[in-house]
Structure 1
Amino acid sequence: MIYADHAATTALSERALAAALPFFRENYGNASSAYSFGKQARKAVERAREQVACAVGAHAAEIVFTAGGSEGNNTVLRGVVEQAWQAKKPVHIVVSTIEHPSILVTCRALERCGVEVSYLPVSKRGRVSSVSVIGALRTDTRLVSVMLANNEVGTVQPVAEIAEALAGRGIPFHTDAVQVVGHIPVDVRELGVTYLTASGHKFYGMKGTGFFYQKAGAELPALIVGGGQERGLRAGTENTAGIVALGEALTESCECMADEAVRLHGLVSCTVQEIRENLPEIRVHGEGGGHLPGLVNIGVPGVRSESLVHLLDLKGICVSAASACNAGTDVPSHVLLAMGYSEKEAMEALRISYGRETTEQDADDVVRAVVGAVEKMRAL
């Protein structure tokens, strides 16, 4: 098997696994307990919090552990709305049209409750304009949310530029950085964001773990209540092993980030070049400008991507037709539709995403498999 869907999830790294193992059976104490056995777990949780804070340029007190990116996104959106409603204020939110479903579906749910939402258009390359953000603001705007990089096409958004445009307006700014953290440098101070969300399994940590950053002074009400964990911000017994793995995985990812980014950009460049030599008509969605390393989204005219994914699977190649959250739905990508592609073109999108274990030989095999599968489908 050749795994080329790292944007969907990654394998737990050996280093993260080794760090977490003792907290499954040996040091299994509850991190909220007052006795020394529990304090061992608490010490490990706080060490991981320091690791995360260091990795994203925050203070440890600004990091809250969650069960993943979707929970973090819901915490921010719903928390901002709850605060406004408690103050009996109307709520308007600004988001981009290419956000992850955990943002867009939450916004639709909030709209049914009376929240007003403005959805920002994007360019053909899948980029949000800071001008469009400012143009969408109103006196009752309580939050702007623009992802740091898109999970389907890999386009990096001008988040720092948007934050600068928002400066002095008193409007909180959130960015979904799930696809970015651990892969390209992230510094919350330089970005200028109020909130940032991330997920452990995207950077070789465990599934079911994540964190969000909330700037000091911008605290939110808890999404999950019933306990005093995470300083009262997220009830539930801490997943010590998962948190430890997350901290170690992020530290490891940051250590090899620069070299790995160069290598992955090279693999993607070669992949696109070689596919184009055989299939010159392909589209590369979001091509040009800032882009995540290791991820490319192509369109093959006349070839439905779901069929291509299944054919490649038979050859032992794992790629995707959309984000993992929408896989198997047989609907056009909302991201590509927002970028101006037709429904037919959006159904032809194939996402290839390489990772730490991907070799040059793997990339060559992916190219041959894609070209061969397309030729076979066209012959049929």
Structure 2
Amino acid sequence: MRPRAYLDWNATAPLLPEARAAMIAAMDAVGNPSSVHAEGRAAKAIVERARAQVAAALGADGADIVFTSGATEAAALALAGRGFSGAAIEHDAVAAWIDPTLATSRSGRVTVDDSAAATLQLANSETGVVQDLPAGLAVSDLTQAFGKIPFAFNWLGCDMGLVSAHKLGGPKGIGALVLRRGLDIAAQLRGGGQEMGRRAGTENIIGIAGFGAAAEAASRRLANGEWDRVDELRNILERALEAGATGTIFVGNDTRRLPNTSCIVTPGWKGETQVMQMDLAGFAISAGSACSSGKVRASRVLQAMGFDEGAAASAIRVSLGPGVTEDEVLRFAEAWLAQYRKFRSRAA
């Protein structure tokens, strides 16, 4: 029996060995980072080293890195009560706080009218479409782009950015809000004044250590060209599927995308059905954002791009990473096409 193939990296990336090692080492830090004794200072040093690692990987030197429980909390800290506009293609964590009035094209591109009062993701988790961020943007969700494509927070020109560790090979349950230096923001969690007064609560030292190590390692892998090979594998996959499937749409393939993401729409073939069929065949994929898994509904991202409800309910997402092999990609294509032929025969 062949081993399973994990093709759902946009949901969560496998834990990097550097992150695991850093977390194991941090488990021995007994002090509280807010304590002034030697043990507390040692714990504080772990946090500050990770903060510097994340800032360097993001190209955010001179910005403030505020550690949170994840990008969802970072989004709430950045957006709650501020009345920003955005597009309907934003992740649920962002969409919960914005007025979704910005227009989205069929290719997934968003038009921003007033950047100072808007939020715009750098890359979409379902389609992989990468946006050109306008100057002076208030907030950008950098979560899916971080570690997959080169960018620098300081060059983007936005005031705030959202990131999460587990999307780039760090642990789950830790993320950060990136703030342009000098920007003030009110804390939602109040208490001891940790994280420069922006987010109270004793720091998750183990998660933070893993985040820092993962960010540093992911940045190195990106610089070494490992994601260029992922881009090649994504293209191999799409060519293989396209050769054997008619009427299938590869969303966003006419614009810039993340190197690892294929959003595949076969109208009439339910996305959740495909996910279950591929799971039984030994492949982990998704029918959209992992935060919406278990909910049987059409993709609102695709609907915002102009797809009808039937097509939006027929989408799957295959997302690759540096650990994926060409053999796995081709085996997936073979298994998917076998199910596709059955679908077409039933529909005939």
Structures share fold, TM-score greater than 0.5: yes
- Residues of 2 paired with 1:103 and 1:302: CA distance? 30
Give the Å deviation of 1:61. 5.4
Does 1:337 pair with 2:303? yes
Q: Could you give the per-residue CA deviations for residues 212-249 of structure 1, whole angstroms, max 9, x where no partner exists?
A: 11111212001211221111111111111111111110
Which runs of structure 2 are paired with 1:215-254 in the superposition (5 Å)?
Answer: 215-254=180-219
- AA of the residue aligned to 2:31: G
Question: CA 1:271–1:61 in structure 2 vs 1: closer, same or farther (change >3 Å)?
Answer: closer
Deviation at 1:12?
Answer: 1.1
Which residue is equivalent to 1:15? 18
Aligned residue number for residue 196 of structure 1? 161
- Determine the structure 1 residue equivalent to 2:263: 297
Distance, in Å, in 2 between the alignment partners of 1:313 and 1:274 is: 19
Aligned-pair CA distance for 1:59? 3.0
Residue 27 in 1 paired to residue 43 in 2? Answer: no
Output one character per residue of 1:12-32: Cα deviation in whole Å (capped at 9) or x when no partner. Answer: 1111111110222x2232111
CA offsets 1:323-351 (integer angstroms, 9 cap, x no match):
11112211110110011000000011010
Separation (CA, whole Å) in 1 of partners of 2:9 and 2:61: 29
Separation in 2 of the partners of 1:363 and 1:253? 22
Distance in structure 1 (CA, Å) of the matches to 2:100 and 2:275: 34
**Contact 2:275/2:286 (8 A) holds in 1:** yes
Deviation digits for residues 236-282 of structure 1 (CA, Å, limit 9, x no counterpart): 11111111111110111111114122101100100000001111321
Percent identity between matched residues is 35
C-alpha distance in 2 between matches for 1:177 and 1:61: 15
With normalisation by structure 1, the TM-score equals 0.87
3-state SS of the aligned residue for 2:140?
strand
Would you say how many aligned residue pairs link Structure 1 and Structure 2? 342
Please point out which of 55, 58, 67 is paired with 1:56: 58
Is structure 2 residue 149 aligned with structure 1 residue 184?
Answer: yes
> Contact 1:55 / 1:186 at 8 angstroms: preserved in 2?
no
3-state SS of 1:153 partner: coil
Secondary structure (helix, strand or coil) at the match of 2:335 reads helix
Residue 213 (structure 1) aligned to one of 154, 169, 178: 178
Letter in 1 for 2:228: V
Q: Does 1:153 align with 2:156?
A: no
Partner of 1:106: 97
Contact 1:49/1:60, CA 8 A, preserved across alignment? no
Amino acid at match of 2:106: K
CA distance in 2 between partners of 1:264 and 1:356 (Å): 6
Asked whether the 8 Å contact 1:228–1:235 carries over to 2, the reply is yes
Question: Which of 118, 121, 124 is 2:103 aligned to?
Answer: 121
Q: Deviations over 1:281-318 (max 9, x none)?
A: 21011112211011110111321111111111111110
Residues 227, 236 of structure 1: 8 Å contact kept? yes
Task: Answer yes or no: is 1:265 the counterpart of 2:231.
Answer: yes
Aligned to 2:47: 45
C-alpha root-mean-square deviation of aligned residues, in Å? 1.5
**Relative to structure 1, is the Cα distance of residues 209 and 219 closer, same or farther in structure 2, using a 3 angstrom cutoff?**
same
1:281-296 maps to which residues of 2 (within 5 A)? Answer: 281-296=247-262
What amino acid is aligned across from residue 7 of structure 2 in structure 1? A
Are the equivalent residues in 1 in contact too, given 2:116–2:138 (CA < 8 A)?
A: no
Checking the alignment, whether the CA contact within 8 Å between 1:3 and 1:318 is kept in structure 2 is yes
Structure 1 residue aligned with 2:243:
277
SS where residue 273 of structure 2 aligns? helix
Checking the alignment, whether the CA contact within 8 Å between 1:6 and 1:354 is kept in structure 2 is yes
Distance, in Å, in 1 between the alignment partners of 2:273 and 2:227 is 30
Partner of 1:74: 76
2:86 paired residue among 83, 95, 101: 95
Contact 2:87 2:110 in 1 (8 A): yes
